[in-house]
A and B are shown apart, each in its own frame.
Chain A
Amino acid sequence: MTDLEKRSDRSPVPADWTYAPAPESTDIVRLQERYGLYVGGEWLEAAEHYATIAPRDESPLANVAQASEADVRNAVGVAREAAAAWAALPGSERAKYLFRIARILAERSREFAVLESLNGGKPIKESRDVDIPLAAAHFFYYAGWADKLEYAFPNREPRPLGVAGQIIPWNFPLLMLSWKIAPALAAGNTVVLKPAETTPLTALLFCDVVRQAELPPGVVNIVTGDGSTGAALVDADVDKIAFTGSTEVGKAIQRRVAGTDKKLTLELGGKAANIVFDDAALDQAVEGIVNGIYFNQGHVCCAGSRLFVQESIYEPVVEKLKKRMATLRVGDPLDKNTDVGAINSRMQLEKIEELVAAGKEEGAEIYQSPCRLPEKGYWFAPTVFTNVAQSYRIAQEEIFGPVLSVLTFRTPDEAVEKANNTPYGLSAGIWTEKGSRILWMAQRLRAGVVWANTFNRFDPTSPFGGYKESGFGREGGLHGLEPYLDFV
């Protein structure tokens, strides 16, 4: 921060208010030097390994297996062998296994939270208060469905599919694992799950939870690796593929399963509109805007990356937003005061930098929060673009980083039209004090999740998933069971 910025009235917090470091201890995490593949309840050796690092300082954490095509085929075979017995188990017994997992996750939540922040770069505040509790809640929720499936689908006889291949992203590693594994197991399937290349560690720690819960061997199998491992899983003898990740990869997977009878669900990218009307509670809305885009460094598929402000309140909203951005604490993910942590990987950082450069070049005006970024590791300051046209790349493409584009509108109709002007359709936000307008807008927004006077909220009972190129299928709630069931 420059002296000028310190003195300016832009920051509501006096410049000399600095926070003392409040680091969360990493002692609770015991990492192995090397991890194999978790298949059939055992650790199998792999031929190749790669180093997984901490994005906060690029230090290596462990070596994890790069599963080959043969490794993946083997894991799927083991899952297949385990499928019949797991499916034949009374639902009430399957339920108890899942309840056990939920409980153990809660018991070991701090260990998971620290590891999640270490390996992924997200603030400990988030992994501790959001990711891990939600992951445990998700298992608890679906546990209860295991013996109640016949209530979920009237006039149908639900049956498990068999083996589910699941591929998850790096932004919410354990939470996405729970979104995938909990409904699959409740429905009576066995799974082979591939964590993201850059964030395998909490999934590998989860194998220890599986052990403690005494799950029958082969019901949960974890194979780590890069995109080629994922592709091998898609091609393997699985009955279903569930993928969360980029739209580009999602399309490639949809092509790969074309002509097969594999069931498919895709939860892909987004470019959510966050729409603020002139009657909204502005301070609350600004908090929501900040949470919408800077939560988890903007590594959120449903992030509110396009802010639409009603013209009459454009200036106060942007001013309040910049003031609030100046108070965001960017830095060590393991510090309990940190609001914005490290960018997940060098590759992602480069993608963000490229799009931000494009935004400047196309003529948008940039503002970045005046924070000091650590020297080592991957960092990007919270950024907002004003003077953005809908056609700019920053308003069209998913950035997946802490970068917000501000646009304006005059009427509710115009807001709807602009908000829907994207190939994506995952989420949207509405800020207004008028209940009828919330529902009017919600009806018209082509998005799978609509938040009113809030943003980025998740709950195991609440179905999540996209319209259009944001994918198909739902995760969470009653509707999240369907992708894992066959019906007679």
Chain B
Amino acid sequence: MSRLPVKKTYKLYIGGAFPRSESGRTYEAQGQNVARASRKDVRDAVVAARAAQPKWAAATAYNRGQVLYRIAEMMEARVPEFAELCSGKDEVHRSVDRWVWYAGFADKLAQVLGSSNPVAGPYFNFTIPEPTGVVGIVSPDEPPLLGLVSRIAPALTGGNAVVALASEARPLAAIELAEAVATSDVPGGVVNLLTGHRSELAPWLASHMDVNAIDLTGADGLRTDLELAAAENVKRVIVGKPDSQSLYEISSFLELKTVWHPIGT
């Protein structure tokens, strides 16, 4: 007798938990019923991200690098599952390698992006990069896995917490990723992943007054309206590349702090 498989319920990932949308709605994508997040889910995710961000930023850079590396380990163990949900193995391998690359940057970016500044006066003056805080990410529709990883990895490397909207047409890889993240020692709330209609969700993310930056790489036709909404609290607007790996993808999610420390006897 053949065994009936247990099917997965595809849910959101908010604050380290996997809730259904509070709205009770779903939509069908890739042959599955996927949670269709609401405005309130966006708000819950931002609250979770804000609560988790300071601790993530305060973790040592070495620790942050190790946790990000752990995501790569967890993904590597699920390559076949991921491959079915995106364009295939190559996309999965590149996504894993992308985490590894960013993991290794966590404890180097301050050295490359910071500076000590020879001011005219008795001060040790230095500039260091710091996370901007909570970052909203409208991730690209394609590639569904690598596009999402390419946008959230640099934000996390810099010490930010993220609320990301998954590919609308192919959201399953994002949920699979959430499961890898949940088993990777990433503190709950640092990564929040929402599935649903981006034209419904992105405006709430872009206009949320407790979001510091918004990545519109996947915003396409929504971009102008989202930028207009983002201006309300002077959000940093980032339009990056759906498939790139660069120190400067990290720095676009960072602030620079300059400190004048006195020198004296």
Write out, one digit per residue, whether chain B residues 216-255 have a CB within 8 A of any chain A CB (1) or not (0).
0000000110011011111010000000000110000001
Q: Which residues in B have their C-beta under 8 angstroms from that of A470? A: 234
- Once the chains are docked, how many angstroms separate the CA of A474 from the CA of B257? 10
**A245 interfacial contact with B, CB 8 Å:** no
**B5 interfacial contact with A, CB 8 Å:** no
| A255, chain B: closest CB distance, angstroms | 5
Whether A268 pairs with B234 at a CB distance below 8 angstroms is: yes
Whether A468 pairs with B261 at a CB distance below 8 angstroms is: no
Chain A, 443-488, CB within 8 A of any chain B CB:
447-454, 457, 459, 461-465, 467-472, 474, 477-479, 487
Q: Which residues in B have their C-beta under 8 angstroms from that of A465? A: 256
Which residue of the partner chain, among A154, A258, A438, A474, contacts B256 with CB atoms under 8 Å?
A474
Whether A462 pairs with B119 at a CB distance below 8 angstroms is: yes
- Once the chains are docked, how many angstroms separate the CA of A477 from the CA of B128? 13
Which residue of the partner chain, among A154, A251, A450, A467, contacts B255 with CB atoms under 8 Å?
A467
Whether A448 pairs with B258 at a CB distance below 8 angstroms is: yes
**B87 interfacial contact with A, CB 8 Å:** no
| B119, chain A: closest CB distance, angstroms | 4
Write out, one digit per residue, whether chain B residues 191-214 have a CB within 8 A of any chain A CB (1) or not (0).
000000000000000000000100
Chain B at the A interface: SS class: mixed
Spot the interface stretch: B110-118, B143-151, B160-168.
Answer: B110-118
Which residue of the partner chain, among B212, B232, B258, B261, contacts A435 with CB atoms under 8 Å?
B261
Whether B260 pairs with A477 at a CB distance below 8 angstroms is: no
| A14, chain B: closest CB distance, angstroms | 33
**A368 interfacial contact with B, CB 8 Å:** no
**A259 interfacial contact with B, CB 8 Å:** yes
**B260: nearest chain-A partner, CB-CB:** A451
| A289, chain B: closest CB distance, angstroms | 16
**B127: nearest chain-A partner, CB-CB:** A463
**B33 interfacial contact with A, CB 8 Å:** no
**A467: nearest chain-B partner, CB-CB:** B255
Given contacts A442-B257, A448-B258, A461-B125, contact A477 B233 (CB under 8 A): no
| A355, chain B: closest CB distance, angstroms | 22
Chain A, 321-351, CB within 8 A of any chain B CB:
none
Write out, one digit per residue, whether chain A residues 351-365 have a CB within 8 A of any chain B CB (1) or not (0).
000000000000000
Q: Which residues in A have their C-beta under 8 angstroms from that of B119? A: 457, 459, 461-462
Which residue of the partner chain, among B118, B123, B248, B257, contacts A447 with CB atoms under 8 Å?
B257
Whether B258 pairs with A464 at a CB distance below 8 angstroms is: yes
Whether A454 pairs with B117 at a CB distance below 8 angstroms is: no
| A6, chain B: closest CB distance, angstroms | 37
Whether A448 pairs with B257 at a CB distance below 8 angstroms is: yes
Whether B228 pairs with A459 at a CB distance below 8 angstroms is: no
**B24 interfacial contact with A, CB 8 Å:** no
- Once the chains are docked, how many angstroms separate the CA of A467 from the CA of B247? 21
**B262 interfacial contact with A, CB 8 Å:** yes
Interface size on B, residues (CB 8 A): 32
**B125: nearest chain-A partner, CB-CB:** A462
**A447: nearest chain-B partner, CB-CB:** B257
**A471: nearest chain-B partner, CB-CB:** B234
| B166, chain A: closest CB distance, angstroms | 24
Whether B261 pairs with A462 at a CB distance below 8 angstroms is: no
Whether B248 pairs with A479 at a CB distance below 8 angstroms is: no
| A198, chain B: closest CB distance, angstroms | 25
**A155 interfacial contact with B, CB 8 Å:** yes
Whether A450 pairs with B234 at a CB distance below 8 angstroms is: no
Which residue of the partner chain, among A156, A438, A439, A474, contacts B248 with CB atoms under 8 Å?
A156
| B223, chain A: closest CB distance, angstroms | 6
Q: Which residues in A have their C-beta under 8 angstroms from that of B257? A: 442, 447-450, 467
Q: Which residues in B have their C-beta under 8 angstroms from that of A156? A: 248
Which residue of the partner chain, among B118, B120, B247, B258, contacts A450 with CB atoms under 8 Å?
B258
**B116: nearest chain-A partner, CB-CB:** A461
**A423 interfacial contact with B, CB 8 Å:** yes
- Once the chains are docked, how many angstroms separate the CA of A468 from the CA of B134? 11
- 19 further A-B contacts with Cβ under 8 Å, apart from A452-B262, A468-B233, are A254-B234, A258-B230, A259-B228, A439-B259, A442-B259, A442-B261, A449-B258, A450-B257, A450-B259, A452-B261, A454-B123, A464-B258, A468-B234, A470-B234, A472-B234, A474-B256, A477-B115, A477-B117, A477-B258
User: Can you give 9 A-B contacts (C-beta < 8 A)?
Assistant: A154-B112, A255-B228, A255-B231, A258-B228, A439-B259, A457-B119, A459-B117, A467-B132, A471-B234
